Every structure is written in C-alpha cells, then in structure tokens.
Amino acid sequence: IARVSWEKTPLLTLCEKGDATNVTHSWNTEALGYAADNAQVSGFTVTFAAGDANLPTKVTNQVQVLMRKVSVDKTMEWVNKVNTVQGSLFDRQLQIKSKELALDLDRALLVQTVQTRADDTQTAGKMVGLISATTSNVKNLGGTSGVTHDAYLDLCRTIADRGGDPDYAIMEGTNKLIVDSWSADKRQWSMRDKELAQEVAIISSGFSTQAVVYDKHMPATDICLFAQKMNYVAYGLPFTF
C-alpha cells in the first residue's frame, strides 16, 4: 500500500497509523461547554440539572476487511513480455492490486457509511468515513454550485468556536478549481519557463490555517477541514497474499 504515490491517496497518507486490537474499536469523546454569564451570591445552594454533567460520549467504529484478487497464468511467469512488463507478472499484479487496495481504503476513509459486522448473517463490517463521522468539520455546500469564500470562512469559524484547529482542507477537483480562482488577480507568468501559475496551496484566515489537498474521492457537495492529530488508521494485519 505504501507504494502508491501520496497524491493519489491523500487522506490515507495524512492519517496517523496504529495497530487494531479488535474487530470493533470504541473510544470516548468529550467537549468543553460554551462560556456563560456566571455570577453567584455568597452562600448559594448548588442544584443540578440533567444537562449540568459533562460526561464523555462513547464512539464506535468497525474493522473492515479489504481484498483484491490476483490471478496469473503460470506460463506468463517464464515467457518474454512486451514493452515494460518484464520479470514476474505475478509480482507486477501484486503491486497493481496493492495500489488499488490503497485507493479503496482512501475512498472508504472519506465517504463510507458504517456497517456493523455480523458473522452469523455474513454481514461484512464497514468503517465509518470522515464525512459521516464528523459533526463540525464538514461543510455541505447544499448543491453543486461549489464552495464560496464566505462558506469556507464560516466553516473555519464554526470549528474555531468549538476549539478545533484543522491542518488541511480536503476537496474534490471542482472545488479545488474554485479555490484556485481566488488567486486570479495574483497569477504568475514566467516568460523564461513559459509557465502560468495559479494555485491556492495555503488558506490562512483569522481562525486557522490549512494546506489545500485535492482528493478525487471527496464528494463535490462537501468540503472537509481535517485535523491530522485527531485521525488514525489502525491496521489489524499487514498487506499479505
């Protein structure tokens, strides 16, 4: 999987790596309450309401088994091949399928909906993707008109209000083109290299700063601001065949 260029599987590359220890993983999340007017008289009596307790919330995710098939006629292992396909065709197929697995995983990490594993009914477990799992760092654009500067800043503000500090802005191609167009009045043309440069690589606002990342698996209707330190991919087994 690591043989795939990071540009092809950006989310998978950005996620921290760890070891899976069970087919179902659970962890707790908690958050600070918002600031409020807080002034009490001397000798006040403490009373409690149901919403006063700031208890952790349990979150669960599933381990997912991924597979790609490899099949090569043994004759192809010893005959000469055309063009650049020399050596073992089986090894070549392993490389290709491992790259396809990485693409599958990158897509699942973004857009997949969780499915609970149930061996008795032959139901495969599916991990939850970032879009379904995230409550504050994903902005639905409400159609196909694409991201606007105001919508982007509004998402940054919402995340900052909740204490977040995302590192990356993940978006698909249409929205990446729109973001790049924000630099239209600052295009760079090199007469010597005959090169036109028009790209927004970093977005910095009064709330946070993100590197812009293109991921073809991201839906055109959403953008996601990603905090690298908050996201892990846990592997139960290494890639095997």
Under DSSP, the state recorded for 164 is -
Task: Give the span between the Cα atoms of 53 and 163, in whole angstroms.
Answer: 19
For residue 55 the two structure tokens come to 């208890």
Report whether 237 contacts 90 (CB < 8 A): no
Task: Give the span between the Cα atoms of 17 and 1, in whole angstroms.
Answer: 13
For residue 212 the two structure tokens come to 């812009």
Closest-CA residue to 172 (of 217, 210, 141):
217
What are the phi and psi torsion angles at 171 (to 5°)? -155, 160
pLDDT in tens, the chain (241 residues): 445 565 688 898 888 888 888 888 888 888 777 788 999 999 999 988 877 888 888 888 888 888 888 888 888 777 776 665 667 888 888 888 888 888 999 999 999 998 888 888 889 989 999 888 887 888 888 766 789 999 999 999 999 988 889 999 999 999 999 999 887 666 665 556 666 677 888 999 999 999 999 999 999 999 999 998 888 888 887 765 4
> What's the number of CA atoms in the CB half-sphere (13 Å) around residue 112?
19
